[in-house]
Amino acid sequence: MKNNSIYIKLSCLYFSAYWCLACYSPFLLLYLQDRKLSYVQMGFVFALNSLVNVLCQPVWGYITDKYLNIKKSLYISIIASAIAIVLLVQSYEYRFIILSTVVFVAFQSCISSLMDSLCYKIIYKYNNIKFGKVRLMGSAGYAISSFLLGIIIARTSINIAFYLYSIFSIFAVFSLCRLNFKDETPREEKSKAQPLQVLRNISLLVFLLSVTIASISYGANSSYVGVLLQETGGNTQNLGLLWFVIAMSEIPIFFISSKIINKIGSINTYLLSLLIFSLRFFLCTLWNNVSFIIAIQFLQGFTFPLFMAGALDYMSSIIPSEARSFSIALMSALIFGAGALIGNMGGGIIIERFGIFTLYQIMSVICFTALLIALTLKKKRGSSPSSL
């Protein structure tokens, strides 16, 4: 009974936190267009968003592993980001947009990785709780939020999305308060922890290299799929529908992700996601049709959930538990930070010079390159199914 209660409360936390995230990420492009920025300027803002991710997430993870507990870090980041996003609403000049983005992302960037770290701590204590079944609630919150916001923004303005982020953050804080789980690691043991030691693990470094390269394409897609939609005749409501399809398609695969990992192994799950990512981005270049572009996003269900579930499971199996927050934050920083930084900067330049379809062709090749790098891990280590 207690396990079920923990599962429900953790699911509510993911639902509310990702509901908030959908108030920002899917509509950042519309916000920047509303502020009359060029594609190169947009690319810089997207890249800055990623750079702050790279710098701040590992720091949050290190501080959490070494000094704080995960819940305290989450309280700070959720509340501070809810306050900081109001600065974006008030920013109209390019320099103020840059400053506001830095302040907001410095706190917001670590929320998902800290939740994942908390989830894995709970999983190791309550074996019947599976990451995929919890994470799917995040996708549900993201899907519903982005779909409704697409309709609301079309009838009002982009600013309403950022105000709603602050309002819905209250529900995330409330959900976190109700989650009665304490990190039982003694303070003395935390102070002795050496999270940076994991960087000596060669398999981890090869894996993170593959993750970083793959995230170049993933980051570019997250930022510029709105441009792809516009180039094929889409509008604001279509954008909300597209993100709804993306998020909803993740739910069934997250639900069965633990079974897939148990059947084929975590590294094979990760490799499969990269293969489908490459196919998905290539298909986006074949037809200049908004309906097809939206339909192809159903492949998100076979890409991102398998990518995240396989990656987290594989990484958790090769690192010590006392370095988990740092390691997950580092991986998240590389996915949503370093790789996305390159994808955002390069993507803006490529669109400006060659067009959106050329960008998606390059993204397909990049994902296949990441797949080839990750294949070397199968030689280093067997692909045995995880216990999670």
What's the pLDDT at 136? 87
What's the pLDDT at 385? 42
Give the class (CATH, top level) of 2-180+193-378: mainly alpha
What's the pLDDT at 179? 84
When pLDDT is averaged across residues 276-281 and rounded to a whole number, the result is 94
Element (H, E) at 280: helix 266-283
* pLDDT 10s digits, 174-232: 999 988 776 655 555 544 455 566 677 788 888 899 999 999 998 899 888 888 888 88
Q: 202-231 and 324-333 helices cross at what angle (nearest 10)? A: 40
What's the pLDDT at 332? 79
When pLDDT is averaged across residues 354-361 and rounded to a whole number, the result is 92
What's the pLDDT at 89? 87
When pLDDT is averaged across residues 286-307 and rounded to a whole number, the result is 88
Residues above pLDDT 90, as percent of the chain: 30
Torsion angle (degrees, nearest 10) of CA 321, 324, 327, 331? 130
Distance CA 94, CA 104 (A): 15
386 pLDDT tier (thresholds 50, 70, 90): very low
pTM (whole model) above 0.75: no
What's the pLDDT at 129? 78
What's the pLDDT at 198? 65
When pLDDT is averaged across residues 146-173 and rounded to a whole number, the result is 91
Q: Would you give the end-to-end CA distance of the chain in angstroms?
A: 20
Sign of the CA dihedral running 334, 325, 117, 175: negative
* pLDDT 10s digits, 53-106: 878 888 888 888 777 788 899 999 999 999 999 998 899 999 999 999 999 999
Sign of the CA dihedral running 265, 270, 274, 277: positive
Distance CA 372, CA 275 (A): 10
